[in-house]
Amino acid sequence: MTQEAQTSAVPVLAASDVSKRFGSVVALQHIDFEVYPGEIVALIGDNGAGKSTLIKILSGTLAPDSGTLLMNGKPVKFASPRDAREAGIETVYQDLALAPDLDVPANLFLGRELRRAGILGMFDMLDVRAMRTRAQSHLDTLGVKIKSIDQRVDTLSGGQRQSVAVSRSVFWGRDVVIMDEPTAALSVAQSALVIELIKRVRAGGTPVVLISHNLPHVFEAADRMIVLRHGSRVGSLDPKTATMEQAVSLMTGALAATDLRAAAAGEADDRG
Protein backbone atom coordinates (compact mmCIF):
# COMPACT_ATOMS: atom_id res chain seq x y z
CA MET A 1 0.00 0.00 0.00
CA THR A 2 2.66 2.51 0.94
CA GLN A 3 3.93 4.11 -2.20
CA GLU A 4 6.30 7.03 -1.99
CA ALA A 5 8.71 8.56 -4.45
CA GLN A 6 5.87 9.70 -6.68
CA THR A 7 6.71 13.34 -6.39
CA SER A 8 10.20 12.97 -7.74
CA ALA A 9 9.34 10.65 -10.63
CA VAL A 10 8.21 11.67 -14.09
CA PRO A 11 4.52 10.81 -14.64
CA VAL A 12 3.99 7.80 -16.90
CA LEU A 13 0.98 9.53 -18.33
CA ALA A 14 -0.08 13.13 -17.85
CA ALA A 15 -2.61 15.57 -19.18
CA SER A 16 -1.72 19.23 -19.10
CA ASP A 17 -4.25 22.07 -19.30
CA VAL A 18 -6.80 19.91 -21.10
CA SER A 19 -10.21 21.33 -21.98
CA LYS A 20 -13.15 19.75 -23.74
CA ARG A 21 -16.63 21.02 -24.53
CA PHE A 22 -19.62 19.41 -26.18
CA GLY A 23 -21.48 22.25 -27.83
CA SER A 24 -22.25 24.60 -24.97
CA VAL A 25 -21.53 22.00 -22.27
CA VAL A 26 -18.08 22.45 -20.78
CA ALA A 27 -17.10 18.90 -19.87
CA LEU A 28 -13.51 19.65 -18.84
CA GLN A 29 -11.71 22.92 -18.25
CA HIS A 30 -7.98 23.35 -17.82
CA ILE A 31 -7.45 19.95 -16.30
CA ASP A 32 -4.04 18.75 -15.16
CA PHE A 33 -3.82 15.06 -14.46
CA GLU A 34 -0.92 12.72 -13.84
CA VAL A 35 -0.24 9.07 -13.12
CA TYR A 36 3.05 8.13 -11.51
CA PRO A 37 4.83 4.79 -11.84
CA GLY A 38 3.40 2.06 -9.68
CA GLU A 39 0.45 3.95 -8.20
CA ILE A 40 -3.29 3.58 -8.24
CA VAL A 41 -4.75 7.01 -8.80
CA ALA A 42 -8.48 7.35 -8.32
CA LEU A 43 -10.57 9.83 -10.23
CA ILE A 44 -13.65 10.75 -8.25
CA GLY A 45 -16.49 13.19 -8.70
CA ASP A 46 -20.25 13.44 -8.95
CA ASN A 47 -22.21 12.22 -11.99
CA GLY A 48 -21.36 14.40 -14.95
CA ALA A 49 -18.19 15.77 -13.33
CA GLY A 50 -16.18 14.84 -16.42
CA LYS A 51 -14.43 11.64 -15.29
CA SER A 52 -15.38 9.53 -18.29
CA THR A 53 -14.62 12.41 -20.63
CA LEU A 54 -11.12 12.70 -19.18
CA ILE A 55 -10.35 9.01 -19.48
CA LYS A 56 -11.76 8.96 -23.02
CA ILE A 57 -9.21 11.64 -23.85
CA LEU A 58 -6.45 9.65 -22.15
CA SER A 59 -7.45 6.52 -24.06
CA GLY A 60 -7.70 8.16 -27.48
CA THR A 61 -11.48 7.87 -27.82
CA LEU A 62 -11.96 11.65 -27.71
CA ALA A 63 -9.62 14.41 -28.84
CA PRO A 64 -9.20 17.35 -26.42
CA ASP A 65 -10.13 20.84 -27.65
CA SER A 66 -6.92 22.17 -26.15
CA GLY A 67 -4.11 20.99 -23.91
CA THR A 68 -1.55 18.26 -24.29
CA LEU A 69 -0.96 14.67 -23.29
CA LEU A 70 2.45 13.51 -22.17
CA MET A 71 3.84 10.02 -21.86
CA ASN A 72 6.97 9.79 -19.76
CA GLY A 73 7.38 13.53 -20.22
CA LYS A 74 7.09 13.49 -23.99
CA PRO A 75 4.07 14.99 -25.80
CA VAL A 76 1.85 12.44 -27.55
CA LYS A 77 -1.26 12.62 -29.73
CA PHE A 78 -3.81 9.83 -29.97
CA ALA A 79 -5.96 9.93 -33.06
CA SER A 80 -7.78 6.73 -32.10
CA PRO A 81 -8.07 4.19 -29.28
CA ARG A 82 -5.74 2.07 -31.34
CA ASP A 83 -2.98 4.69 -31.07
CA ALA A 84 -3.34 4.79 -27.30
CA ARG A 85 -3.30 1.00 -27.09
CA GLU A 86 -0.17 0.84 -29.18
CA ALA A 87 1.41 3.36 -26.83
CA GLY A 88 0.73 0.94 -23.96
CA ILE A 89 -2.49 2.33 -22.49
CA GLU A 90 -5.34 -0.11 -21.98
CA THR A 91 -8.86 0.77 -20.91
CA VAL A 92 -11.59 -1.21 -19.20
CA TYR A 93 -14.81 0.48 -20.21
CA GLN A 94 -17.77 1.10 -17.98
CA ASP A 95 -19.90 -1.20 -20.12
CA LEU A 96 -17.99 -4.41 -20.67
CA ALA A 97 -16.27 -4.94 -23.97
CA LEU A 98 -16.01 -8.72 -23.86
CA ALA A 99 -17.48 -11.06 -26.45
CA PRO A 100 -19.86 -13.18 -24.33
CA ASP A 101 -20.06 -16.04 -26.82
CA LEU A 102 -16.32 -16.59 -26.94
CA ASP A 103 -14.17 -18.36 -24.38
CA VAL A 104 -11.68 -16.74 -22.02
CA PRO A 105 -8.51 -17.00 -24.16
CA ALA A 106 -10.40 -15.71 -27.21
CA ASN A 107 -11.42 -12.69 -25.17
CA LEU A 108 -7.97 -12.06 -23.73
CA PHE A 109 -6.57 -12.02 -27.25
CA LEU A 110 -9.56 -10.35 -28.91
CA GLY A 111 -8.37 -8.30 -31.87
CA ARG A 112 -4.78 -9.37 -31.19
CA GLU A 113 -4.98 -13.08 -31.78
CA LEU A 114 -1.72 -14.96 -32.12
CA ARG A 115 -0.97 -16.51 -35.46
CA ARG A 116 0.90 -19.70 -36.11
CA ALA A 117 4.51 -19.33 -37.07
CA GLY A 118 5.67 -19.73 -40.64
CA ILE A 119 3.59 -20.64 -43.63
CA LEU A 120 0.39 -21.33 -41.65
CA GLY A 121 0.61 -17.86 -40.15
CA MET A 122 0.75 -16.45 -43.64
CA PHE A 123 -2.61 -18.11 -44.13
CA ASP A 124 -3.86 -16.22 -41.05
CA MET A 125 -4.09 -19.40 -38.99
CA LEU A 126 -4.79 -18.95 -35.28
CA ASP A 127 -2.42 -20.40 -32.73
CA VAL A 128 -5.15 -21.59 -30.40
CA ARG A 129 -2.88 -23.63 -28.18
CA ALA A 130 -0.37 -20.84 -27.56
CA MET A 131 -3.15 -18.42 -26.72
CA ARG A 132 -4.70 -20.90 -24.32
CA THR A 133 -1.41 -21.56 -22.53
CA ARG A 134 -0.53 -17.90 -22.23
CA ALA A 135 -4.03 -16.98 -21.08
CA GLN A 136 -3.93 -19.63 -18.38
CA SER A 137 -0.52 -18.60 -17.08
CA HIS A 138 -1.48 -14.91 -17.15
CA LEU A 139 -4.62 -15.57 -15.11
CA ASP A 140 -2.60 -17.72 -12.72
CA THR A 141 -0.08 -14.91 -12.25
CA LEU A 142 -2.86 -12.48 -11.41
CA GLY A 143 -4.53 -15.03 -9.17
CA VAL A 144 -7.75 -15.05 -11.18
CA LYS A 145 -9.39 -18.40 -10.66
CA ILE A 146 -11.76 -19.67 -13.28
CA LYS A 147 -12.78 -23.29 -13.30
CA SER A 148 -12.09 -23.78 -16.97
CA ILE A 149 -10.88 -21.07 -19.28
CA ASP A 150 -12.61 -22.91 -22.12
CA GLN A 151 -15.89 -21.63 -20.72
CA ARG A 152 -17.79 -19.12 -22.74
CA VAL A 153 -17.57 -15.77 -21.01
CA ASP A 154 -21.36 -15.52 -20.60
CA THR A 155 -21.24 -18.54 -18.30
CA LEU A 156 -18.96 -16.69 -15.85
CA SER A 157 -20.18 -14.69 -12.88
CA GLY A 158 -20.18 -10.90 -13.11
CA GLY A 159 -17.05 -10.65 -10.99
CA GLN A 160 -15.23 -13.26 -13.01
CA ARG A 161 -16.19 -11.50 -16.20
CA GLN A 162 -14.93 -8.21 -14.84
CA SER A 163 -11.75 -10.02 -13.76
CA VAL A 164 -11.29 -11.24 -17.32
CA ALA A 165 -11.74 -7.68 -18.62
CA VAL A 166 -9.25 -6.34 -16.08
CA SER A 167 -6.81 -9.17 -16.81
CA ARG A 168 -7.02 -8.42 -20.50
CA SER A 169 -6.18 -4.77 -19.96
CA VAL A 170 -3.25 -5.69 -17.74
CA PHE A 171 -2.04 -8.25 -20.24
CA TRP A 172 -1.75 -5.62 -22.96
CA GLY A 173 -1.36 -2.40 -20.97
CA ARG A 174 2.40 -2.05 -20.77
CA ASP A 175 2.33 1.42 -19.24
CA VAL A 176 -1.06 2.38 -17.85
CA VAL A 177 -4.35 0.62 -17.22
CA ILE A 178 -7.48 2.77 -17.01
CA MET A 179 -10.64 1.38 -15.43
CA ASP A 180 -13.99 3.14 -15.61
CA GLU A 181 -16.16 1.85 -12.75
CA PRO A 182 -14.85 -1.71 -12.75
CA THR A 183 -16.96 -2.64 -9.73
CA ALA A 184 -20.23 -1.06 -10.82
CA ALA A 185 -23.11 -3.55 -10.66
CA LEU A 186 -21.07 -6.11 -8.73
CA SER A 187 -21.99 -7.62 -5.39
CA VAL A 188 -19.88 -6.77 -2.34
CA ALA A 189 -18.02 -10.08 -2.57
CA GLN A 190 -17.42 -9.82 -6.29
CA SER A 191 -16.24 -6.20 -6.01
CA ALA A 192 -13.77 -7.25 -3.35
CA LEU A 193 -12.41 -9.77 -5.81
CA VAL A 194 -11.89 -7.13 -8.47
CA ILE A 195 -10.33 -4.65 -6.00
CA GLU A 196 -7.89 -7.36 -4.89
CA LEU A 197 -7.03 -7.92 -8.53
CA ILE A 198 -6.41 -4.21 -9.10
CA LYS A 199 -4.01 -4.18 -6.16
CA ARG A 200 -2.19 -7.14 -7.63
CA VAL A 201 -1.88 -5.22 -10.89
CA ARG A 202 -0.13 -2.41 -9.03
CA ALA A 203 2.07 -4.93 -7.29
CA GLY A 204 3.09 -6.06 -10.77
CA GLY A 205 4.30 -2.51 -11.43
CA THR A 206 1.59 -1.23 -13.78
CA PRO A 207 0.00 2.06 -12.70
CA VAL A 208 -3.78 2.17 -12.65
CA VAL A 209 -6.30 4.96 -13.14
CA LEU A 210 -9.43 3.99 -11.25
CA ILE A 211 -12.81 5.64 -11.60
CA SER A 212 -15.32 4.67 -8.96
CA HIS A 213 -18.31 6.05 -7.11
CA ASN A 214 -17.61 3.60 -4.33
CA LEU A 215 -15.58 5.66 -1.87
CA PRO A 216 -14.74 2.77 0.49
CA HIS A 217 -13.20 0.97 -2.48
CA VAL A 218 -11.30 4.06 -3.48
CA PHE A 219 -9.99 4.62 0.03
CA GLU A 220 -9.00 0.99 0.26
CA ALA A 221 -7.16 0.72 -3.04
CA ALA A 222 -5.97 4.15 -4.16
CA ASP A 223 -2.65 5.83 -3.38
CA ARG A 224 -3.96 9.20 -4.48
CA MET A 225 -7.35 10.65 -5.31
CA ILE A 226 -8.08 13.41 -7.76
CA VAL A 227 -11.44 15.13 -7.41
CA LEU A 228 -13.34 16.58 -10.36
CA ARG A 229 -16.32 18.85 -10.09
CA HIS A 230 -18.19 20.48 -12.98
CA GLY A 231 -15.27 19.76 -15.27
CA SER A 232 -12.60 21.26 -13.03
CA ARG A 233 -10.04 19.64 -10.84
CA VAL A 234 -10.95 20.82 -7.37
CA GLY A 235 -8.34 18.97 -5.40
CA SER A 236 -6.34 15.88 -4.76
CA LEU A 237 -6.46 13.87 -1.58
CA ASP A 238 -4.28 11.35 0.15
CA PRO A 239 -6.51 8.47 1.25
CA LYS A 240 -4.21 7.77 4.20
CA THR A 241 -4.85 11.16 5.75
CA ALA A 242 -8.10 12.41 4.22
CA THR A 243 -11.55 11.42 5.42
CA MET A 244 -14.51 10.38 3.36
CA GLU A 245 -16.36 13.48 4.51
CA GLN A 246 -13.63 15.64 3.01
CA ALA A 247 -13.85 13.75 -0.25
CA VAL A 248 -17.62 14.07 -0.39
CA SER A 249 -17.59 17.76 0.38
CA LEU A 250 -15.00 18.38 -2.31
CA MET A 251 -17.08 16.41 -4.80
CA THR A 252 -20.27 18.26 -3.94
CA GLY A 253 -18.67 21.66 -3.50
CA ALA A 254 -19.55 21.95 0.19
CA LEU A 255 -15.88 22.41 0.97
CA ALA A 256 -13.98 25.23 -0.65
CA ALA A 257 -11.42 24.08 -3.15
CA THR A 258 -8.40 22.79 -1.35
CA ASP A 259 -5.49 20.86 -2.66
CA LEU A 260 -4.03 18.92 0.20
CA ARG A 261 -0.93 18.29 -1.82
CA ALA A 262 -0.46 21.99 -2.48
CA ALA A 263 -0.36 21.54 -6.23
CA ALA A 264 -2.77 23.33 -8.54
CA ALA A 265 -5.37 24.74 -6.22
CA GLY A 266 -8.80 24.48 -7.79
CA GLU A 267 -11.04 27.17 -9.12
CA ALA A 268 -14.33 25.49 -8.39
CA ASP A 269 -17.85 26.69 -8.83
CA ASP A 270 -17.74 27.66 -12.46
CA ARG A 271 -20.71 26.19 -14.15
CA GLY A 272 -20.66 25.33 -17.87
Q: Which is nearer to Mg ion, 56 or 224 (CB)?
A: 56
Q: Does 64 bind ligand ATP (CB under 6 A)?
A: no
Q: How far is the C-alpha of 241 from the C-alpha of 19, rounded, in Å?
A: 30
Among 11, 38, 50, 64, binds ligand ATP (CB under 6 A): 50
Report whether 261 contacts 238 (CB < 8 A): yes
Contact yes or no for 135/105 (Cβ under 8 A): yes
Mention every residue, 6+ apart, whose C-beta is less than 8 A from residue 167.
Answer: 108, 138, 139, 142, 144, 197
Q: Closest distance between Mg ion and the C-beta of residue 180, in Å?
A: 6
Q: How far apart are CA 236 and CA 33, in angstroms?
A: 10
Using rule CB under 6 A, residue 25 touches ligand ATP: yes
Question: How wide is the angle at C-alpha 33 spanned by C-alphas 97 and 261, nearest 5°?
Answer: 130
User: Out of 11, 33, 38, 52, which residue is the one contacting ligand ATP (CB under 6 A)?
Assistant: 52
Number of residues near ligand ATP (by CB under 6 A)? 11
Residues 192-221 that bind ligand ATP (CB under 6 A): none
- Whole-number Å distance between alpha carbons of 139 and 61: 28
| Binding region for other proteins (CB under 8 A) | 81-82, 85, 93, 95-102, 106, 110-113, 115, 123-126, 143-148, 151-152, 154-157, 159-160, 189-190, 192-193, 196
Closest to Mg ion by CB, 167 vs 212, is 212
Is the separation of the CB atoms in 116 and 125 below 8 Å? yes
22 touches ligand ATP by CB under 6 A: yes
Q: Of 152 and 213, which CB lies nearer to ligand ATP in the complex structure?
A: 213
CB 195 within 8 A of CB 188: no
Which chain residues interact with Mg ion by CB under 5 A? 52
Which chain residues interact with ligand ATP by CB under 6 A? 22, 25, 27, 45, 47-53
